[in-house]
């Protein structure tokens, strides 16, 4: 199915049927390109008459999307300009309907944005970490296969619902793209050779917090969240891409040596704050009830020596309840000169200790 779809794309741009090279993962595509001596064809959009197949295919798809957007109508863009799209993304469909949001705008949030968050911003971003920064110099710009579904699904929703009537050639091209999304992962058109990567063999996700339209993020507590058949893998902790040790063997020693704050946070959450505090033997500076979160405590600790003495760690409890009904504990870096936990919490909000103490409740 994938080869037939790509062959059709080549036919549509007037290029002969390409040769196909299948690889087990996107990272393996680089090795295959090196072994075959492949180099991307240089091209510029301004030299349309001399574009290689990759450039002609890109132009074909872009032009088709432009035509379909015109068929959807200018009202969609007018509403997008008038409304705060972030608000629509984070409110339920029922609220949007009652607010009079047009269905065209709702499809932006519930189909295109939702799938983009899950597949493109999430999965494709994780896969991109497997490739060196200069991967485009070797293979050129990739197409993302199944991670293109946010575009395909959006236009297909208009087609199926009858909200827009597209040209026959655009519908045929949409079917070709749908076939590619169902049958392959990343792929590259390098002249008359197409390098096709297999899709992941394992992909673990969880619902995105506060996601209103079924968005998901990569996560697995004990295994790689993303795996390919050749053993290429990515570890992800609640949407944050992390080194293998964070998931498989987090220790206070490794956390102390880690310079990336987000990775440290994930590793500490992985083993739990109580276990980390005991293992790291951090010095407690002070403890107090949290005025902004009644029933919860604030704890201020010296940071590990490896982090330097310019910061301390404030341990607090989230004011909001998690999906499992618990309140998450989290740590915040605060200046080393603060020696009172309430003052430390106030500093994170840009308040004085006295102002923070008067809060009814924080979130």
187-198 pLDDT, tens digit each: 999 888 999 999
pTM: 0.84
Confidence grade of residue 320 (pLDDT, cut at 50, 70, 90): low
54-71 pLDDT, tens digit each: 889 999 999 999 999 988
The answer to whether residues 190 and 200 touch, using CB atoms and an 8 Å cutoff, is no
Residue with tokens 């995105």: 208
125-184 pLDDT, tens digit each: 999 999 887 777 778 888 999 999 999 999 999 999 898 899 999 999 999 999 999 999
Compute how many other C-beta atoms are within 10 angstroms of the C-beta atom of residue 268.
Answer: 24
CA 128 – CA 247 distance, rounded (Å): 20
Cα dihedral 243→244→245→246 (10° resolution): 60
Kindly tell me if the per-residue pLDDT of 50 is higher than 70: yes
Strand 329-335 relative to strand 193-197, pairing: unpaired
261-267: average pLDDT = 92
Helix, coil or strand: residue 170: helix
CA 343 – CA 86 distance, rounded (Å): 33
Kindly tell me if the per-residue pLDDT of 298 is higher than 70: yes
Confidence grade of residue 116 (pLDDT, cut at 50, 70, 90): very high
The DSSP annotation for 202-215 comes to EE-EEEPTT-SS--
Confidence grade of residue 31 (pLDDT, cut at 50, 70, 90): confident
186-237 pLDDT, tens digit each: 999 988 899 999 999 999 999 988 778 889 999 999 999 999 999 999 999 9
Ramachandran assignment for 272, one of left (phi > 0), alpha (psi -120 to 50 degrees), beta (any other) = left
Nearest to 248 by CA among 221, 227, 208, 275: 221
Note the pLDDT of residue 321. Answer: 57
Ramachandran assignment for 162, one of left (phi > 0), alpha (psi -120 to 50 degrees), beta (any other) = left
Please report which residue ranges of 83-213 form alpha helices under DSSP H.
85-89, 93-98, 103-107, 114-115, 125-128, 135-139, 149-161, 168-183
Long-range contacts of 316-324 (CB under 8 A, 24+ apart): 316/290, 316/345, 317/290, 317/293, 319/292, 319/293, 319/361, 319/362, 319/363, 320/363, 322/209, 323/207, 323/209
Residue 311: DSSP 8-state = E
277-284: average pLDDT = 89
Kindly tell me if the per-residue pLDDT of 331 is higher than 90: no
Q: Spell out where 267-310 has E strands.
A: 284-289, 297-302
Nearby residues of 228 by Cβ (< 8 Å), 6 or more positions away = 24, 25, 26, 27, 28, 198, 200, 201
Note the pLDDT of residue 143. Answer: 92
CA 288 – CA 296 distance, rounded (Å): 9
Six-digit token string for 141: 């710009």
Kindly tell me if the per-residue pLDDT of 122 is higher than 80: yes
The answer to whether residues 314 and 341 touch, using CB atoms and an 8 Å cutoff, is yes
Note the pLDDT of residue 84. Answer: 57
Higher pLDDT, 128 or 357: 128
Helix, coil or strand: residue 287: strand
Weakest-pLDDT range from 3-12, 107-116, 316-325: 316-325
The answer to whether residues 298 and 273 touch, using CB atoms and an 8 Å cutoff, is no
66-91 pLDDT, tens digit each: 999 988 876 555 455 455 566 666 77
Higher pLDDT, 235 or 273: 235
Note the pLDDT of residue 249. Answer: 94
Nearby residues of 62 by Cβ (< 8 Å), 6 or more positions away = none
Q: What share of the chain is helix, strand, coil (3-state, %, to 5)?
A: 50, 15, 35
Long-range contacts of 158-164 (CB under 8 A, 24+ apart): 158/68, 158/72, 158/104, 158/107, 161/103, 163/72, 163/103, 163/104, 163/107, 164/68, 164/71, 164/72, 164/73
């Amino acid at each position: 199915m994938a080869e037939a779809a790509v062959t059709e794309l080549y036919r549509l741009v007037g290029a002969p049927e390409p040769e196909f090279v299948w690889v087990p993962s996107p990272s393996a595509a680089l090795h295959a390109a090196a072994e075959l001596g492949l180099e991307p064809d240089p091209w510029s959009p301004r030299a349309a008459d001399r574009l290689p197949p990759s450039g002609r295919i890109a132009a074909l798809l872009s032009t088709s999307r432009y035509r379909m957007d015109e068929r959807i109508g200018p009202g969609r863009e007018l509403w997008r300009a008038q409304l705060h799209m972030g608000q629509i993304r984070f409110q339920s469909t029922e609220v949007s309907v009652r607010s009079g949001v047009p269905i065209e705008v709702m499809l932006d949030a519930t189909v295109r944005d939702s799938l983009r968050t899950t597949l493109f911003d999430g999965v494709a971003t994780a896969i991109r970490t497997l490739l060196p920064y200069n991967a485009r110099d070797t293979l050129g710009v990739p197409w993302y296969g199944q991670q293109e579904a946010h575009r395909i699904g959006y236009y297909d929703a208009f087609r199926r619902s009858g909200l827009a009537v597209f040209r026959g050639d655009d519908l045929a091209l949409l079917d070709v793209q749908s076939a590619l999304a169902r049958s392959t992962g990343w792929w590259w058109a390098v002249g008359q050779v197409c390098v096709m990567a297999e899709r992941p063999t394992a992909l673990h996700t969880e619902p995105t917090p506060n996601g209103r339209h079924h968005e998901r993020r990569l996560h697995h507590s004990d295994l790689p969240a993303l795996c390919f058949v050749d053993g290429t893998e990515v570890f992800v902790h609640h949407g944050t891409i992390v080194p293998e040790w964070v998931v498989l063997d987090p220790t206070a020693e490794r956390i102390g040596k880690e310079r990336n704050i987000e990775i440290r946070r994930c590793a500490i959450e992985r083993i739990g704050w109580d276990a980390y505090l005991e293992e790291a033997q951090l010095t407690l500076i002070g403890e107090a009830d949290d005025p902004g979160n009644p029933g919860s405590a604030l704890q201020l600790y010296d940071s590990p020596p490896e982090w330097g003495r310019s910061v301390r760690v404030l341990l607090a409890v989230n004011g909001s309840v998690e999906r499992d009904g618990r309140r998450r504990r989290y740590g915040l870096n605060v200046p080393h000169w603060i020696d009172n936990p309430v003052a430390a919490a106030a500093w994170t909000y840009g308040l004085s200790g006295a102002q923070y103490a008067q809060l009814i409740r924080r979130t």
